[in-house]
Amino acid sequence: MNEEDLLKRSAEEREKIFKRYELGRAEGAEIDPWEDPDFQIYHVTDRYGFMHDKPLPSKLDPHEAKKQQIELERIKKWLKMLKSWDDNEKLKDKTHKHLKSSEKINEWEMVHKEKLHRRIYKGIPNSLRTQVWCKLLSIGKVKGENKGEYNKMLKLARKYSTDARQIDSDVNRQFREHISFRERYSTKQQSLFNVLTAYAMYNSEVGYCQGMSGLAGVLLMYMDEEDAFWALHVLLSDVKYAMHGLYKEGFPKLNRFLEHHDRILTKFMPRLKKHLDKHGVDAILYSLKWYFVCFVERVKLYKDFMYDEDTVIQTLERSMDELKKAKLDLPPPATKEELPSRQFGIFIEPTFEQIVGHRMESFTNKEKETNEIVMLRREAARESIEIDNRESQVSASDSVGNAGTDVDSISLSSSRYTVDSETSICESTSSSIIECTRL
Can you give the pLDDT of all 439 residues of the chain as single tens digits?
899 999 999 999 999 999 999 999 898 888 887 677 664 554 578 888 888 878 888 788 887 888 889 999 999 999 999 988 887 777 666 655 554 555 555 555 666 788 888 888 888 999 999 999 999 999 999 999 999 999 999 999 999 999 999 999 999 999 998 989 989 999 999 999 999 999 999 999 999 998 899 999 999 999 999 999 999 999 999 999 999 999 998 899 999 999 999 999 999 999 999 999 888 888 888 888 888 887 776 556 555 666 777 787 788 889 999 999 999 999 999 989 999 999 999 999 988 888 887 666 666 776 667 677 767 766 776 666 666 666 666 665 555 555 443 433 323 233 322 323 333 333 344 444 444 443 4
- CA dist 246 and 304 (Å) reads 28
Residue 98 has a pLDDT of 52
The confidence score (pLDDT) of residue 278 equals: 87
Please, are residues 294 and 320 in contact by the beta-carbon 8 Å criterion? no
CA distance 264 to 251: 20
Name the DSSP letter for residue 45: E
What is the signed CA dihedral for 78, 81, 83, 85, rounded to 10 degrees?
-130
Predicted local distance difference test score (pLDDT) of residue 205: 95
Q: Tell me which fold the domain 1-43+137-242+339-358 belongs to.
A: Helicase, Ruva Protein; domain 3 (1.10.8)
Reported as type and span, the H/E element at residue 252 is helix 252-268
In contact, 180 and 220? CB cutoff 8 Å: yes
Query: Chain centroid to CA 433: how far?
Result: 15
Return the domain boundaries, the chain. Answer: 1-43+137-242+339-358, 61-136, 252-338+359-437
What is the DSSP code string of 218-237? HHHHHS-HHHHHHHHHHHHH
Q: Is residue 158 a contact partner of residue 179, using CB atoms and an 8 Å limit?
A: no
Q: Residue 222: name the closest of 129, 125, 120 by CA.
A: 129
Where is 52: in which H helix or E strand?
strand 51-52
Instruction: Give CA–CA dist 194/190, Å, rounded.
Output: 6
pLDDT at 401: 52
What Å distances lie between residue 24 and 20, 27, 187, 350, CA to CA? 6, 9, 7, 28
Dist. CA 395–CA 407, nearest whole Å: 10
How confident is the model at residue 225, as a pLDDT? Answer: 97
Q: What angle do CA 82, 83, 86 make, to 5 degrees?
A: 85
